[in-house]
Copies of this chain bind each other. A is one copy, B any other.
Amino acid sequence: MDYYSKQINQLVESLSMLPGIGAKTAQRLAFHILSMPKEDARRLSDSIRDARENVRYCEQCFTLTDDVLCPICKDAKRNHKVIMVVENTRDLAAYEKTGKYDGVYHVLHGAISPMLGIGPGDIRLKELMQRLQKDVDEVIIATNSSLEGETTAMYMSKLIKPTGIKVTRIASGVPVGGDLEYIDEVTLLRALEGRTEL
Chain A interface residues (CB < 8 Å from chain B): 2-8, 10-11, 13-15, 17-20, 25, 27-34, 36, 38, 40-55, 64-67, 70-71, 88-90, 92-93, 96-97
Contacts and interface: CB of A to CB of B under 8 A. Distances in A.
Secondary structure of the A side of the interface?
A: helix
25 contacts: A4-B93, A5-B65, A7-B50, A7-B66, A8-B66, A11-B47, A14-B43, A14-B47, A14-B48, A19-B28, A19-B29, A20-B25, A20-B28, A20-B29, A31-B64, A33-B52, A34-B51, A34-B52, A34-B55, A34-B64, A41-B48, A41-B49, A41-B52, A41-B53, A45-B46
Nearest to A67: B5
Contact of A48 (B3, B48, B65): B48
Nearest to A52: B41
Contact of A30 (B3, B31, B33, B51): B51
A49 B40 contact: no
A50 B47 CA distance: 15
Given A5-B71, A34-B52, 14 more contacts: A3-B92, A3-B96, A5-B66, A5-B67, A7-B54, A10-B51, A11-B51, A15-B44, A15-B47, A18-B44, A20-B25, A27-B90, A31-B89, A33-B52
Nearest to A46: B45
Contacts of A54: 7
A35 B40 CA distance: 24
Contacts of A25: 20
Given A27-B90, A44-B15, A7 B55 contact: yes
